[in-house]
Amino acid sequence: MNALKKSTVFKGPEGPVVLVIMDGVGIGKYEEGDLARAANTPNLDWLRENALYTQLKAHGTAVGLPDDGDMGNSEVGHNAIGCGRVFHQGAALVNQAIESGAMFAGETWKMLVSNAKENDSALHFIGLFSDGNVHSHLNHLKAMLKQAKADGVKTVRVHSLIDGRDVPPTSALEYVEDFETFLAELNADGSVDYAIASGGGRMNITMDRYNADWSMVKRGWATHVKGEGRMFASMTEAVEMYRAENDGILDQDLPPFVIERDGKAVGPIVDGDSVIFFNFRGDRALEITKAFEADELTEFDRGPKPDVKYAGMMQYDGDLGIPRNYLVTPPSIDNTLGEYFAATGISQLAISETQKYGHVTYFFNGNRMEKFDEALETYVEIPSDICPFENAPRMKADEITGEVVKAIEGGKYQFIRLNYPNGDMVGHTGVFSAVIEGVQAVDDGLARLKDAAEKTGAILVISADHGNSDDMYERDKKTGEVKRTASGEPKPKTAHSLNPVPAIIYDPAGTARARLAAVADPGISNLAATCIKLLGYDPPAAYTPSLVEVG
């Protein structure tokens, strides 16, 4: 790994370059429903007016997704920011593997199918049940079910994690109706038995991340593997019943359910079965994968571990080799910003709270868990509250800010990166007042970072990985009109937006003499080269260009 070359026109600032990622804070297309705009943000407003300011694309092809109808997300966003280039990402890779047939010609697929056929056992699919294209896509599941039938697998069981975050918050039955029709067509000739076996809301069971709440995984294990829990005749019945019993409940929070036949669970996972976790994104796949693969598990009492063949859609952690078997090879991301800085001897701090800690470390470093240089890198995780985020919308913004201010003023680090999760995590709740409070907490943090930069000669680079809080009202896709509840209130939109995100460069000392460069169609991948230039180095030729010129 070659070190970065020093700039011949700018030696670098007195203080550090601080990359501030305001997760989920974009620039709304509509004023109505743009709660990032509705929030009281005097500091962000001042910076927009008095610092260098532009807008960046943070979705679709700008972050490696198949097309510009695909919303960005924190994982691909931090990949793009951290590696300074655009790599084909999860959904695009899976699409290619299915279309080319490479997935089904691969050894992992063959192993799973052969195991189910030889044992006359079931092939199970667990994953997010929507077309949100952030963690998964139902088209991928349908393609695998068709191929399983063609390959002679007699029994398939689907364990559905209901979405409501990356798709409309109460849209579950639309997906169920379509999928049940699809299953009926597969089952029509009587040669196979393919059925939904269990499920529950994605924020209730199975899809925890960053070891924040293993009780979710415990509930998922009991539901999917043991077939324990409240039983229903169908997924439709489960969703309708839970909605009737819990007024206003969102899909993501629906309790777990088990589908029964003749009073027994239709699809527990037992010895000899094959299991595919069909999410392509890694952060919410690691814990359930560990539950299936680890010989010893201390996080919860899982009981006897079934002897199954298990695979993920992709490899979720390349460094740790998790899972051991996977269907699609993830992108090989190299030469990241952190790696270049380590090779150049630049000291770095990465910090966030638990909910986004992996984003400023693992994803920022190109899906790498380990540091590049222990002596040069410090990672700080502030534990997130385990509670609904609408109940604590400031999250840990104040604590993150406090640590970063100390780091700026302490002089140890040349590059600091931080993530404020509020605009995204609180945005996903759909609680409007909480979203506004969360964005205001981020703005309060910017005030303190601004003061620290002015004291030390630091340079702030402020942006986001994607939008969310900027687009909080559901709208009619054809007319753009706000959809409303029976009482006339706007229906909350909890998914990410397709909006651009801000990019602000604040150099209070003026030492960089920075000015905006002429960059065609800028996106968040341009932030890496920008940070390199502001530190007084020349960006690698392969990086997307810097947003600024200096010197």
For residue 301, count CB atoms less than 10 angstroms from its CB and return exposed for 0-12, middle for 13-18, buried for 19 or more.
exposed
> Cα-atom radius of gyration of the chain, to the nearest Å?
24
Cα→Cα distances 324→94, 211, 313, 354, Å: 18, 20, 11, 25
Extract the runs of DSSP E, i.e. beta strands, from 431-534.
Answer: 459-463, 501-506, 515-516
Residues 6+ apart with CB under 8 A from 119: 272, 273
Q: How far apart are CA 512 and CA 504, in angstroms?
A: 14
Instruction: Quickly tell me which residue has 């089904």 as its tokens.
Output: 104
User: What 3-state DSSP class applies to 22?
Assistant: strand
Point out the catalytic residue in the list 74, 160, 347, 463: 74
* Alpha-carbon dihedral angle through residues 160, 162, 166, 171, given to the nearest 10 degrees: 120
Cα→Cα distances 4→503, 538, 539, Å: 24, 7, 7
- Cβ atoms of 79 and 541 closer than 8 Å: no
Q: Please name the amino acid found at residue 383.
A: P
136 is catalytic: no
Cα→Cα distances 289→283, 314, 321, 322, Å: 11, 11, 11, 8
- With b for 16 or more beta-carbon neighbours within 10 A and e for fewer, the 197-221 pattern comes to bbbbbbbbbbbbbbbbbbebbbbbb
* Residues annotated as part of the active site: 74
